[in-house]
Chain A
Amino acid sequence: MDILQQISEQIDLGDDEKVYELTATAIEQKIPVKRILEEGLLDGMNIVGKKFKEHDIFLPEVLMAAKAMNAGMELIKPLLLSGNIPMKAKVVLGTVRGDLHDIGKNLVGVMLKGAGFEVIDLGNDVSPEKFIETAKREGAQFIGMSTLLTTTMPVMKEVIELLRIENLEGKIKTLVGGAAVSKSYAEEIGATAYCYDGSNAVEYLNSVI
């Protein structure tokens, strides 16, 4: 089997040590970094994302796969930076103010990173102002907001309204998700997209950039 395919397979199996070794070997073999990333590491995460979406696997497998991918990324990152291969897009991510639930949000972050996006994770209990300030400062094109609680859902609306006031609507797109959030809620508050999970967020972002 092709070494890139092996990397992809080991990510799917969640074996971080094997991914690390295989990635090191691929670099030694002078395989272009971009190929190692796309046909190896990202390919593996794509497979994992699809399986997650189909409920063939669950959170533990995704987390193990993400760990495995990060093991490969450690070796790849310095080479990517020197090779001027840009990250795909920047996403500012956080759980909204008043909500401390971050397992889902972290999972989205892991999957976005896995898919090659740059993620600025603001953690939980993030104020609308902080989302927007960070997106402006970092030149991020997307803000991803998560909440599990119904009581904190309206904070998402605050962020969208604040973007409107600052004339940033459309320039900075908003992705919303979380246990209590639905597609119709996302539409009602004027979010750019509703993403029900991490792989859905990856799918959406890939479709618009």
Chain B
Amino acid sequence: MKAVLDRIKQGEILVCDGAMGSLLMDRAKEHLKGTCPESINLSHPEIIREIAALYIQAGADIIETNTFGGSPLKLASYSLDDKTEEINRAAILAVKNASSKNIYICASIGPSGKLLKPFGDTEPKEIYESFYRQIKVLVDAGADIISIETMTDLNEASLAVEATRNISSSIPVIVSMTYESTSRGFFTMMGTRIEVASKRLEDSGVDVIGSNCGNGIENLVLIAQEHRKHTQLPLMIQANAGIPELREGVTVYPESPEFMAEKCNGLISIGVSIIGGCCGTTPAHIRAIRNVVDQRGKKLLKT
């Protein structure tokens, strides 16, 4: 299979999968009591496989692993840090076994849940080592891409990039930040502007810059636009299906597959290279995005 970055360079738009959490809740609610989603990789890998297969059928080129909270620092909250290796290895295997189709396995790396000194009490070394241990397993087990996502602290994201680069100098690395919309523009929780994030991430040696979570598709089109002004690196965007609402006791994400897919035209016009979904998106959303990408994207192919 062609390297993912080569396809992006040639102008192809790739589709990434959608949410893991909500599908997991539907299928594994009783197994999730008192434990973390990542433990399902070990206890019920068939469920993870099934979810990956659904997204592959929907047309995703890239499938993220169920390892968002799989760093030992995060797993320690569930006393599962000694299972870091097994849990992360099983996550890669589940995606590998999901389909015979060629897809890219994208290892999801979420925040450590700790705040770095001087704001919090955690030393950079502790966070670096936690990322290193997780990413080492994922790379060795066969991840094609490392996606460091839902980040709000650039320093923390940089530690994960550094850990990845010390493990492999060639594996593609994506960093996706999460921004809040304020009256003064978009900022991360730590107060970082898109311009600053773009520059710092470029300097840290990532291959793709992205944004995920925290916003529906419309804000993410604006975020992508702002990123485009400040970097020439490929972009990745994964929006939530809107901000959840509660309707008659059930959590509902308001943005339909059709609505999101239609707005993805905006992302394509900006030149976003990888489009996927975050919280609340389903295989139906990814299928709708796939269709829009196929219609619009083919015209953009430079070959």
List A residues at the B interface (Cβ < 8 Å). 54-55, 57-61, 63-64, 67, 98, 100-103, 124, 149-151, 153-154, 157, 179-180, 182, 184-185, 188-189
B187–A100 CB distance below 8 A: no
- Please tell me if B115 contacts chain A, counting CB pairs below 8 Å: yes
Name the one of B22, B115, B189 contacting A58, with C-beta atoms under 8 angstroms.
B189
Distance of A66 from chain B, by nearest CB (Å): 10
Interface readout for B154-191 with A: 1 if CB under 8 Å, 0 if not? 00000000000000000000000000001110011111
A61–B191 CB distance below 8 A: yes
Q: List 24 A-B contacts (CB under 8 A).
A: A54-B183, A55-B182, A55-B184, A57-B191, A58-B187, A58-B189, A58-B191, A59-B189, A60-B119, A61-B191, A63-B119, A63-B120, A100-B36, A100-B77, A100-B113, A101-B113, A150-B244, A150-B251, A151-B22, A151-B25, A153-B246, A157-B249, A180-B251, A182-B244
B190–A150 CB distance below 8 A: no
- Distance A61 CA – B245 CA, assembled complex (angstroms): 31
Instruction: Enumerate the 10 nearest inter-chain pairs by beta-carbon distance, A residue then B residue, closest first.
Output: A58-B191, A55-B182, A63-B119, A150-B251, A150-B244, A185-B246, A60-B119, A55-B184, A100-B77, A151-B25
Distance of B71 from chain A, by nearest CB (Å): 13
Report B-chain residues with C-beta under 8 Å of the C-beta of A64: 118-119
A153–B245 CB distance below 8 A: no
A59–B251 CB distance below 8 A: no
B245–A63 CB distance below 8 A: no
Interface contact tally, CB-CB below 8 A: 67
A188–B246 CB distance below 8 A: yes
Interface readout for B231-274 with A: 1 if CB under 8 Å, 0 if not? 00000000000011110010101000000000000000000000
- Please tell me if B95 contacts chain A, counting CB pairs below 8 Å: no
Distance of B77 from chain A, by nearest CB (Å): 5
Name the one of B22, B183, B188, B245 contacting A185, with C-beta atoms under 8 angstroms.
B245
User: Which residue of the partner chain B has the closest CB to A184?
Assistant: B245
User: Which residue of the partner chain A has the closest CB to B192?
Assistant: A58
User: Which residue of the partner chain A has the closest CB to B78?
Assistant: A100
Report A-chain residues with C-beta under 8 Å of the C-beta of B22: 150-151
A153 in contact with B251 given A55-B182, A60-B119, A182-B245 (CB within 8 Å): yes
A189–B246 CB distance below 8 A: yes
